[in-house]
Structure 1
Amino acid sequence: MHIIFGMMADGSAYPDFPGDEDGILDGCVVGPLGLLTILETKLGLSGPPVTPVVRITAWQKKLQEACKGSSRFWSASLAADPFSTARLILSWRDALVEAGWHPGSIANPPERLSDMAAAEAALELMPLGRADRLRAVMRRLEAGGRVAIEKLETVEPIEHLPPGWRRLAELLAEGGTKVRQKAIQSPVEASSDLGRLHVFLKQGTLLPLEGDASVLMLKSASEISAAEAVAEWVACDMDGGTGHTVVIAQDGSTAMLDLVLARLSQPVLGVSSASPFRGALQVLTLAFATVWKPFDADRFLSLLTLPNPPMRRKPAGILARAVSSEPGIDGREWKRAWALIEEWALEKGEGDKRKTAKLLDGVKAWADAKQIARFDHSMPSNEAKEIADRVKTWAATLAGEDRDPLLMCVVGAAKALSEALNKLNESPVSKRQIEQMIDASIAEGLGNPEHRAEASRLRAIGTPGALCGPVKRVVWWNFAGHEPAAPPFPWYRSELAALEAVGCCPERPSEAARRQTSYWTNAALAASEGIMFVRPAVIAGEEVGSHPFAHLLAPLFDHEKRRNLIEAKAEAVQEYEVHQLAARTINRQAGTPRATPVQQVSWTVPAIPDLLAELVESPTSLETLASCHLKWLLKHVAKLDAGRIRGIPDSRRLIGNVAHAIAQEVFLPGPVPPGKDARRKAEAVFDRIVEQIAAPLLKAGGANDLISARQRIPKAMEILADILSADGWEIVGTEMEVIHDFGDGLRIKGYTDLRTTHAIHGTGVIDFKWTKSDTRRRREIKDGRAIQISAYSNAVEPGRTLPAAYFMLGQGTLLAEENSPLAGDPVRTDRNLADTWSAVAGMHRSWRDMTVSGVAASTGLDGAPMPDDLVLVPPKKSNPCEYCDYDGLCRVSQTA
């Protein structure tokens, strides 16, 4: 068997196998995990893998056990943050084991090494990690085990391998395996720029680059510009000379480059970085996030709106609508949603009680009020294990026979978490501990399962250290930023002396850094025809610095006269039809420019008398019509919306909803309560209502808004109660429906926030508003454009114009026109409510007639057609168009 071994060769590596491109039998290119797997199989040591989270929790228990009756160097840290402490000290322990540490081998160990030995001896043996597996293989080889490996070639010089792996190579050599360093460097003519680069790296001799295109620094302002240039460079190679070109994806992903390659009909590279944030992997996090107090409506909504939610789509959609309307538990929308879900279960169950119950149980397991928002800062371990097992079962079921990679990754993560909780054997388990365990379970993440490499002689690897053989060309993609820093070296000199005395020599950071530098050097020395360093200034929206290897190469590129020959701008490829780049000629065709859409003041619409005949207006839709005819037509007649993903309302809307709900409980039909009683009642129900319909305000980020609402809403209830009782009003009801047909095609439907009655003035209507300022509503009344309250004042008791007012909850002001019996804060007006409604009815008739004639007007634009007799003229475009979803159609925001 012929093996090429590199410390960075687990995963994507080049080449795929030893030998030439025709293939080889019984040979492979592997990294540490791959080599261990081969050796364990040959030596009969194979066993099930153990996930990091299980090992960390097992080590945590050992640390805790070692602390009983003794003070250890980790005791204080372990008490404050057990999981993070265990993870850190486990990394120290594994590094020692890999370097050859045996507990008890040091006669009089320093304190920290003595404590580490005590932890190792506590409880049962540690689940095997990479270091333990390495030592087990070495013990078997030392005992005479044979592995039948003919040749082992190392990418790194053998003396640069970490101590444990260096010793493994020696043991294999002693067993008859030919062990040597693989020749990666390519022979290059010293007269070329690439040859000068090689001479500089090998000998340190500085020979200025001449600019023969064999070495090029390609700079760009952004990653997309770099991708365009590199993809064009690849695509113009019509003779197939791309063969044996390796792309080093410095950040572990070729996603941006692949997008452009695919557009140019080139095979994609398919390298994607592993991420713990991919779709289904978040179910494990979301499943736990919903059980903590306060209720996390954002996370719960994210769970419900996943492409494959953990419950049936219909009930998930019903609950999502409820939570996005009233984010809380057990509010009105929540109860209405569960009533609909029960109806759905009965329909799906087709009369079978067991089937119906099973459907409901499937939803309740994830979304029952008794299942979510139960725990404060900890939960019983058996409860946590049940949640993990539920996620595992869901993912395994959904994965089915196809064994979707992403879902199987979820299965593995949930299983690991369940095993870790079982290994921890603690009850209760803190919220922080569970979150840390979840992070550790999904930390490795998964590459994009849909991002696959296509057959090509252009190859990609995720790190320079994975380049394990000579290659013609190297393209170093995203040659910027910094390599991950080496972990800190924790050992004191006295501890190192004690360890080295017994043959345990942990690798020092300087040795790891030297090996890392050799990876960069080897990547450049492996190229025989050319190397291109691709250096964007911005990657993923963030500015990046120079790569450390760039600092080493700086003397070669520090040549003002030839800089234009050894450096290039990626954007130049987009500027010219013919452009030379890295010894290739890129030919591009100029595109035909297209005229951009222009502003359009009117639109031709089809005859829609049937839609208009069925249309029922609301005060809100009439306000829209008064601002823009086109918007009204699209939104309220055609029902065309922006198609946004469901989301949680902002704090302003949440507080407004809370105020409306509190008013319903404070102002019951009958006499108006005294102001102080109204305030006490509002304060008493405030917390319950917030939990039911505005739970996001209870999160840390909502503290300011919550405090403000807690002070201002009860105060507003007191002020309103005092105003109404002082003027002799009584309460008729809250949230009362209003439906009326005014004739001539105008029908109204809505809900009055508060309806009152008076012995002299009769019925009154009050509409609640929560805003930062009352300026807008005050101006509406003054200008005779208070459409909302004018609609209600004329629709509640047809034939009469009732007193109506806005009550501004934030300011505690009752705004109404002068001489209105509801005018707590009178506003002098140009048009009373009766005249306003007459103007609204006329406006509706005029715009309706224009619609029937087949014309829609973009009234936010100058020159838009308008009816001649219009009283309510749309305001200037800066007002109604500021937050419009349809401005992309009329192009109101486009500069003329």
Structure 2
Amino acid sequence: MHVTFGLFLDARQGPSPTDFFNSPLVGRVGFLSLLETYLGLSAPEASFTKRVAVYSGLLRAHDNGAYFYSESLQADSIGTAASLLAWRDEWRLGGWDGSAKSTHPARVKELSAIETAAAGKLPPGEAERLQLVVQALRDSGPGPIKSVHLVDPPEDFPLLWRQVLDLLPAVEVRLPEPQGTGHLRAVQEQALAVLAGHPAGKLGALPDGSVLLVHALAATTAAHWLSAHNSYEPGDRLVLAEDAGDGLDVSLSATGGVNCGFEHPSQLRPALQALPLALELCWTPLDINRLLDFLTHPVGPFSRRARSTLARAVSQQPGIGGEAWTSAKAKLATGEDAQEVADEIAFWLESERWTRNNGVPVDALIARVDRLKEAMRRRLTGESADVANFLAAHRQCAAVHDALTELASQGLATVLPRQIEQLVAHATPAGATNPAAVSHVGCMRSASTPAACIEAADEVVWWMPSTPALPSPLPWSQSEVESLTQLGVQLRDPARELVSLAAQWLRPLLAARKRFVLVCPPPGAEVHPIRLLLKKLLPAIESTAIDLDSAIGSTFIASTAAALAPQPLPTPPRLVQLPQPVQLSDSAQSFTTLNELFNDPALFVLKRVAGLEPTSVLTVEEDNRLLGILAHRVFEKLFEHAAALTWSNPDAVAWFRAEADTLLQTEGAVLLMQGAGVSQQHFRKVCEGAICSLLDHLRSAGATQVQTEVAFSGTLGAVPLVGKIDLLVTLDDKRTVALDMKWRSDNYYAGLLRSGEHLQLALYSSLVEQKNGAAPAALGYFILESGALYITAADLFPKAQVRRPPEGVTVATLLDQARATWNWRKQQLDDGVIDVVPVDPPEDFKGPDGTLPVKGPNSRFDGDHLVLLGGWEQ
């Protein structure tokens, strides 16, 4: 076996023209795994999360309150343990045996004491595994390995890796060399000379175009060019994309190219989001947004159908245990898996919760993680793409489970939110890749790091290099470094790392045989050192750079884009003429549907005839709509008590305060969330004031009964009509008053009465009269925030504010206008004519005499539909 070994070759992607059987190209992870396999040392690898948990226990066990890490451990045990474990692992790789002298600095001595206790307890890391490999190589030899080709200098490797290399046969260093010819070769040699510290020799313009800069204002423009360039000039081409390779693949695929297979590991893959979402349900107050995320997420611990059903209930009534929630559970109780679903709902959603300050019992957390781990395990039998995602999620759950089990064995009783977040983060250090991000037949060769560009290619394209990640300084003091050196520890040298990094940046340039292309990021990004080097060697390179935006239409990039003539945005038509009548359904109309038909028939047709609805996105928002709904529910519950009208105001307020918590938990939990305290207190204050104000009005009027949400049905001429009245008040003389409740906007609703535009109340009056034989004696609005009552008649509610309609405007005249407007709009639809009414319509949109004024649509609520009619500004 002939091994090619480099520090960063684990990131190599390929495909490679020089791949041969038994000649692997590997980095540190790959080579260590290979050595362990052939030396019989393979074993399940302990997760970093488990190691952090063990190390945190060791730190706590030896903490006397005066160690250098004591205060940090108290404030952030997991974070402190992770940082100190990283120190310890780096020292071990440098040859530390865990010892310290009495004269050494305190931090070295204190970590040495921990290291003594860690023997046999801390799961092995890279250093311990390498020590076993060294011992096995000494005992049994290198096995099938015949030679090792290093692409990085030996001094760049940690000490333990150098000890391994010393025991392997035919280890040879072959650093990348210039592969170009002609002018490109001269640039490559000059670049190496600069790296070696020699003065830079300036080269003139390259007549063969072997080194090019490509500029574009947008990455997509450059991606289109690269796709076309590869199609029209196929060849041996290597693309290096460090950060945006996945986006480049998307553009290549969209423009007819072939995916290179760039992988972008992310912790935000759906399968990896399931665990943190599930653990968010442990806390009280319950975060309704996270609950909705848990229920609508594509990956969860139980049936997606069940979670979707519950999500709709939560969106309708944000909470757990309300009417919508109970109805959803009843619906789920009829399925084949009813008992299983019921158990899952009880476990995940209806079980005990804990405060963030006190933390969650570790045993309860282990049970949740174990249950989710089992759910992920059951998904490992599907398609290969799904298995790749769920395998990462299963490992994530297993790592957190192992860490929590370790913490429990150390006697830790509870875990705080920050500790949970850190354990999950350590369990998913890189995340998971997109299973669809695979290389396709005929793709360009690719790499995601300059250090992996060790094989020559005719053309190398470096895709948008920008801010490089530089070596971090050593976190230890000079005296600590010196003491570790005395112990034989060879720590990394940041200055040396920077030199090596510069050499790695040259590898893409050195690998080019015929052409090197640097595609620059859009303006505003940091200039990469490789670009500065090219400008130093080739002062004229910017003047010969290709600007893709200004060159559209040239022979160089004509295949990538065609100039389009500007087109004005369409304007909404005045009307739509159809060749046949618009057929209306026989279903009953409500005020809402009539309002749409009267004020914008096009909107009515889209929503009520064509049945077009925007995509439904389940959300829970802390807005006036929610507050109004909750307030309506308060009054529904209040007047369920027959004696409510006899209660004193203090008694009614006491009742509300006793009921409010349950109502909010089941139907308005968004107001119980962190950060919603002001809104919650405002809601409570408004409801208390509204209850007292309404009861005062009702008592002063001699009300004997109040019905809430009263449904009526009837007709408007020949049109079936339905409605639901918020409050129907019966007075002691048997007369009734119909009231609509609104959260706020006193001036607006009082103005509707004063101007005679209260069509909704007029329709309600008609429905009451048709059913009871007598119309309400008055109509009005009760405003919750102000506690004001506006009605159309005097002498009924002594404390109400009377807002009489104009002379000649009565319920009868409003109903006559509504019938005339219906007939006008119905005739239009019968003729296939659909009015498209703009917002704030001019006078020419009004109907015939005797019809209602045309107000136009409400862009706030109907913007999605208005866009279909050409209202692009919406």
TM-score, L = length of structure 2: 0.91
Match of 1:815 in 2: 790
Overall identity of the aligned pairs, in %: 25
Aligned counterparts of 2:570 and 2:178: Cα–Cα separation in 1: 57
Match of 1:464 in 2: 450
Amino acid at match of 1:179: E
Aligned counterparts of 1:197 and 1:806: Cα–Cα separation in 2: 84
Offset from partner CA, 1:624-675 (integer Å, 9 cap, x none): 3343212122223443210222221343222222212222233444525333
* Alignment CA distance shift 1:508-1:801 (3 Å): farther
Spell out the pairing of 1:722-761 with structure 2 (5 A cutoff).
722-750=696-724, 752-760=725-733
Aligned counterparts of 2:579 and 2:418: Cα–Cα separation in 1: 60
* Alignment CA distance shift 1:587-1:280 (3 Å): closer
Amino acid at match of 1:888: V
Aligned counterparts of 1:709 and 1:122: Cα–Cα separation in 2: 57
Aligned counterparts of 1:789 and 1:557: Cα–Cα separation in 2: 80
Does 2:166 match 1:170? yes
Aligned residue among 743, 760, 765 for 1:770: 743
* Alignment CA distance shift 1:457-1:680 (3 Å): closer
Does 2:297 match 1:306? yes
> Is the Cα contact below 8 Å between 1:860 and 1:881 reproduced in 2?
no
Choose 842-851 or 589-598, whichever is displaced more.
589-598
Match of 1:648 in 2: 620
Match of 1:545 in 2: 526
Aligned residue among 831, 835, 853 for 2:831: 853
* Counterpart secondary structure, 2:660: helix
Match of 2:29 in 1: 33
Aligned residue among 542, 550, 555 for 2:536: 555
* Counterpart secondary structure, 1:579: coil
* Alignment CA distance shift 1:486-1:423 (3 Å): farther
Choose 774-783 or 113-122, whichever is displaced more.
774-783
Amino acid at match of 1:839: Q
> Is the Cα contact below 8 Å between 1:381 and 1:427 reproduced in 2?
yes
Aligned residue among 363, 368, 374 for 1:382: 363
For structure 2, the residue ranges without an aligned partner over 5 or more in a row are none
* Alignment CA distance shift 1:223-1:820 (3 Å): farther
* Alignment CA distance shift 1:274-1:870 (3 Å): farther
Match of 1:871 in 2: 851
Offset from partner CA, 1:192-239 (integer Å, 9 cap, x none): 7845763664544231451543222222222222222222222221xx
Choose 754-763 or 82-91, whichever is displaced more.
754-763
> Is the Cα contact below 8 Å between 1:599 and 1:894 reproduced in 2?
no
Choose 596-605 or 427-436, whichever is displaced more.
596-605
* Counterpart secondary structure, 1:490: coil
CA displacement at 1:568 relative to structure 2: 2.4
> Is the Cα contact below 8 Å between 1:405 and 1:449 reproduced in 2?
yes
> Is the Cα contact below 8 Å between 2:179 and 2:512 reproduced in 1?
yes
Spell out the pairing of 1:283-362 with structure 2 (5 A cutoff).
283-342=274-333, 344-345=334-335, 348=336, 356-362=338-344
> Is the Cα contact below 8 Å between 2:156 and 2:500 reproduced in 1?
yes
CA displacement at 1:26 relative to structure 2: 0.8
Offset from partner CA, 1:741-772 (integer Å, 9 cap, x none): 3441232133x22221112472122222224x
* Counterpart secondary structure, 2:769: coil
* Alignment CA distance shift 1:554-1:813 (3 Å): farther
Match of 1:352 in 2: none
> Is the Cα contact below 8 Å between 2:146 and 2:170 reproduced in 1?
yes
CA displacement at 1:90 relative to structure 2: 0.9
Offset from partner CA, 1:228-251 (integer Å, 9 cap, x none): 2222222221xx32x1x2211121
Does 2:381 match 1:400? yes
CA displacement at 1:554 relative to structure 2: 4.3
Aligned residue among 630, 638, 659 for 1:666: 638
Does 2:202 match 1:207? yes
* Counterpart secondary structure, 1:269: coil
Amino acid at match of 1:806: Y
Offset from partner CA, 1:430-472 (integer Å, 9 cap, x none): 2221222122222321111112111225112111122122222
Amino acid at match of 2:469: P
Amino acid at match of 1:413: Q
Match of 1:183 in 2: 176
Aligned residue among 510, 521, 524 for 2:495: 510
> Is the Cα contact below 8 Å between 1:601 and 1:865 reproduced in 2?
no
Aligned counterparts of 1:609 and 1:494: Cα–Cα separation in 2: 88
Does 2:510 match 1:528? no
> Is the Cα contact below 8 Å between 1:155 and 1:184 reproduced in 2?
no
* Alignment CA distance shift 1:689-1:209 (3 Å): farther
* Counterpart secondary structure, 2:653: helix
Match of 1:699 in 2: 673
CA displacement at 1:587 relative to structure 2: 6.8
CA displacement at 1:371 relative to structure 2: 5.8
* Counterpart secondary structure, 2:214: strand
* Alignment CA distance shift 1:61-1:224 (3 Å): same
- Residue correspondences, number: 855
Choose 648-657 or 84-93, whichever is displaced more.
648-657
> Is the Cα contact below 8 Å between 1:364 and 1:371 reproduced in 2?
no
CA displacement at 1:294 relative to structure 2: 1.3
Aligned residue among 152, 155, 160 for 1:159: 155
Aligned residue among 78, 87, 107 for 1:92: 87
Aligned counterparts of 2:320 and 2:606: Cα–Cα separation in 1: 34
Aligned counterparts of 1:372 and 1:793: Cα–Cα separation in 2: 49
> Is the Cα contact below 8 Å between 1:184 and 1:469 reproduced in 2?
no
Match of 1:281 in 2: 272
Match of 1:497 in 2: 482
Match of 1:453 in 2: 439
> Is the Cα contact below 8 Å between 2:2 and 2:22 reproduced in 1?
yes
For structure 1, the residue ranges without an aligned partner over 5 or more in a row are 349-354
Does 2:795 match 1:829? no
> Is the Cα contact below 8 Å between 2:847 and 2:854 reproduced in 1?
no
Offset from partner CA, 1:341-390 (integer Å, 9 cap, x none): 22x23xx3xxxxxx6433432443433x2366788742222211111121
CA displacement at 1:686 relative to structure 2: 2.5
Choose 1-10 or 94-103, whichever is displaced more.
1-10
* Counterpart secondary structure, 1:483: coil
Match of 1:351 in 2: none
Aligned counterparts of 1:157 and 1:839: Cα–Cα separation in 2: 91
Aligned counterparts of 2:795 and 2:537: Cα–Cα separation in 1: 85
CA displacement at 1:265 relative to structure 2: 2.1
Aligned counterparts of 1:759 and 1:618: Cα–Cα separation in 2: 30
* Counterpart secondary structure, 2:81: helix
> Is the Cα contact below 8 Å between 1:194 and 1:214 reproduced in 2?
no
* Counterpart secondary structure, 2:678: helix
Amino acid at match of 1:248: L
* Counterpart secondary structure, 2:848: coil
> Is the Cα contact below 8 Å between 1:96 and 1:506 reproduced in 2?
yes
* Counterpart secondary structure, 2:251: helix
* Alignment CA distance shift 1:607-1:678 (3 Å): farther
> Is the Cα contact below 8 Å between 2:354 and 2:360 reproduced in 1?
no
Amino acid at match of 1:886: H
TM-score, L = length of structure 1: 0.89
* Counterpart secondary structure, 2:722: strand
> Is the Cα contact below 8 Å between 2:630 and 2:668 reproduced in 1?
yes
* Counterpart secondary structure, 1:133: helix
